[in-house]
Copies of this chain bind each other. A is one copy, B any other.
Amino acid sequence: MKRNAAQHDHRKCVHTALSTAEAVCKARGEKLTPVRKRVLELVWASHRPVGAYALLDSLRADGRSAAPPTVYRALEFLLAQGLVHRVESLNAYLGCAHPAADHAAQFLICRQCGTAAELEETDIASAIDRHAKRAGFTVERRTVEAMGLCAACQTA
């Protein structure tokens, strides 16, 4: 296991993510097709943001026929369902830790080990919205990404 962060039962993470996804899609009448499910599983293979072409390589390693649109279409679906997030500063994708509800997420990305933790702090979002409102600006989406060192990498 490559993670530097606290050890945990990662299979449980993956399993939870996949079953939640099944439930969410079923409730919405959306189809979690095999490609989509597999891409979600691959995104959840680690707690690090993964690039689209890394996902593509993995799909191909499965023996599946795949081209860039294959993975981008799957990601588009998963993003629309809130099952994954896009990390803008890395052009990479990360499984969403709390996919059931709408939420404004923030990310803590470790420059050392690459892991990303997801926060959902409403006061960060509301601070942004408040200052935006003062400028007459209506916020629709927020990108909040902090780069630095995670707890494990600081001690090391």
Q: Other than the known A108-B139, A137-B148, A142-B144, what 4 A-B pairs have Cβ atoms closer than 8 Å?
A: A88-B143, A108-B137, A117-B137, A119-B131
Please name all residues of chain B whose beta carbon is closer than 8 Å to the beta carbon of A80 when the two chains form the complex: none
- Per assembly, the copies of the chain total 2
Q: Are A132 and B146 in contact (CB under 8 A)?
A: yes
What would be 29 A-B contacts, judged by CB atoms less than 8 Å apart?
A: A88-B88, A88-B89, A89-B143, A108-B132, A108-B137, A110-B137, A111-B140, A117-B137, A119-B131, A119-B135, A121-B127, A123-B127, A124-B124, A124-B127, A124-B131, A129-B146, A132-B148, A136-B150, A137-B148, A137-B151, A139-B147, A140-B147, A140-B148, A141-B146, A142-B145, A143-B143, A143-B145, A143-B146, A143-B147
